[in-house]
Amino acid sequence: MPAFIINQEVTTDGPTIEVTATPDKPIPRGRQRFRLVVTDDSGNVSKPDEVVIIVADQDIPTAVLTAPTTVPFGRSFNLSGERSVDTGGGKIVRYAWTYVGPAS
């Protein structure tokens, strides 16, 4: 798979190409433009055609709540969400905590 680098042309003999992105080499989030110019067998070159693709983080984050299993009566304790992750490339920016009440 060829690597797409801004303003660097990638040529193929076929009509399709895969834009490969990985977590370590992502296409940046936001509006991204791609351009196509084709050449026929007589050497005639088309005008460029462009599309705008919105690269968006659409993967939901995963909440991971860590807490002690037992705490002394009347004592404070910590809850932690630090193991929560967003595998879609985003950054967790808010933690909403709720005491739901007694468990059965």
Residues 30 and 2 in one domain: yes
Please indicate, yes or no, whether residues 18 and 52 belong to a single structural domain of this protein: yes
Q: Give the integer Cα–Cα distance in Å for 59 and 55.
A: 12
Q: Is the pLDDT of residue 3 over 70?
A: yes
Q: ∠ CA 8-10-54 to the nearest 5 degrees?
A: 75
- The pLDDT assigned to 88 comes to 77
Quote the mean pLDDT of the chain. Answer: 92
Q: Are 30 and 38 in contact (CB under 8 A)?
A: no
- 25 confidence band (pLDDT: 50, 70, 90): confident
| pLDDT for 1 beyond 70 | no
* Residue 24 shares a structural domain with residue 13: yes
User: Within a domain: residue 36?
Assistant: yes
Alpha-carbon span 103 to 69, nearest angstrom? 13
Domain holding 11, by residue range, is 1-56
